[in-house]
Amino acid sequence: MDAVPVIDISRFDEERAEKVLDAAINVGFLWIDGHGLSKDNVRSAFNLSRQFFTLDREEKSKYPIQNNQGFAALNVEELDPSTPSDYKESFNFGADDLMNGTQNQPLPPVFTEQHDFLSSFATSCHSICLDILKFFGHALKVPGGPYFLAASHQPGASSGSTLRLLHYPAVEEEVQGDNRAGAHSDYGSITLLFQQPGSSGLEIMLPGKGWVPVPALPANDTNSAPPILVNIGDQLSYWTAGLLRSTIHRVRMPNRGQERYSMVYFCHPNDDALLEPVPSEIVRERKGRGANAAEGEVLTAGEHLRRRLAATYGWKENEDGQKQ
Ligand SMILES: O=C(O)CCC(=O)C(=O)O
Ligand SMILES: [Fe+2]
């Protein structure tokens, strides 16, 4: 996909850091290669996802989404309030718990039996995100360089980091228009998006270009998983006064009879991180704040997430993060 560059992050150098920053400023999406995740790992995760979503609806509904963890049935989520709710189902894992070994979330046997695998998958995703954040820290020339942003994304610290499995069932008739995931930007710092080879439906909104499809890249013949799609979320946009683009995207599935599986790792800062512009000359030169920020208001990452989730699921949470 020409609009979205592919960048090999297996080595850290000036040129690559500049390319990563450039893609984040101009597109908000990039493919990363040299990420170190194996094809087998990604395949196993997709297999687990398929095992879960093919369970009876009744069985899946024993784990209803609460505090952004668990199962959201078809049409529960409404990513874009101006369009009908999303004809997709999902399962969210609290990735901080998966990483720190304190599993509080009720899980079906299909997942508890593979808990070690899920923990290691989430840990790998998080460490890929830390690698990418190091490129940004370096290119933005913040104090501490590569470690500045990574330092507020400690693996296992209390955060909104989430591993999410998604299933878009095949339909024969049009279901509420073609929008299967309404237009939205992501809430965290950066997102890793896994699609299966041959899979289509994802579109991103680019200035001057409109909606641009971003189909999965083909599988390669190495042991490595194909390049992973990365996008900038709102929190990194706040931190960089809107310099890094939190690009709006959606899923449309006009091809009848096709289903789609995708997996997403939302990397979030520690809950107590303040979403104020980072001390960078490059950011200081920039006027304004990131997407949706009211003038003069500085939120913590945890507060920001609570607000966004309340809007998405139509529920409110109290200070302790309890659903009301
Ligand atoms: O399924 C997809 O490819 C997109 C999912 C997505 O954008 C999200 O869950 O935030
Ligand atoms: Fe998204």
| Tens of pLDDT, residues 265-285 | 999 999 999 888 899 998 888
Residue 320, pLDDT > 60, answer: no
Distance in Å, CA 112 to ligand 1 centroid:
24
DSSP class of residue 270?
A: B
Grouping H, G, I as helix, E, B as strand and the rest as coil, residue 17 is helix
Tokens of 10: 């297996």
Atom of ligand 1 nearest to the CA of 166: 1
Distance of CA 59 to the CA centre of its chain: 26
Q: What span, in angstroms and rounded, lies between the C-alpha atoms of 240 and 286? A: 8
pLDDT of 177 reads 62
Q: Where are the alpha helices (DSSP H) in the chain?
A: 14-26, 39-53, 57-60, 95-100, 109-112, 115-140, 147-150, 234-239, 281-284, 301-313
pLDDT of 296 reads 64
Residue 292, pLDDT > 80, answer: no
Write the CA distances from 203 to 4, 248, 251, 261, integer angstroms. 12, 9, 6, 15
Residue 289, pLDDT > 50, answer: no
Is 40 in contact with 65 (CB distance < 8 Å)?
Answer: no
Which whole number is the average pLDDT over 38-63?
A: 96
| pTM for the structure as a whole | 0.92
Distance in Å, CA 108 to ligand 1 centroid:
23
pLDDT of 75 reads 79
Of residues 199 and 314, the one with the higher pLDDT is 199
Which whole number is the average pLDDT over 108-119?
A: 96
Domains of the chain as residue ranges with CATH: 6-313 (2.60.120.330)
Distance in Å, CA 74 to ligand 1 centroid:
14
pLDDT digits (tens, 9 = 90+) for 172-183: 776 666 678 889
Residue 251 beta carbon below 6 angstroms from any ligand 1 atom: yes
Is 266 in contact with 164 (CB distance < 8 Å)?
Answer: yes
Quick check: ipTM above 0.85?
yes
Residue 193 beta carbon below 6 angstroms from any ligand 1 atom: yes
pLDDT of 321 reads 39
Of residues 298 and 205, the one with the higher pLDDT is 205
Residue 253 beta carbon below 6 angstroms from any ligand 1 atom: no
Low-confidence winner among 57-71, 172-186, 194-208 (lowest mean pLDDT) = 172-186
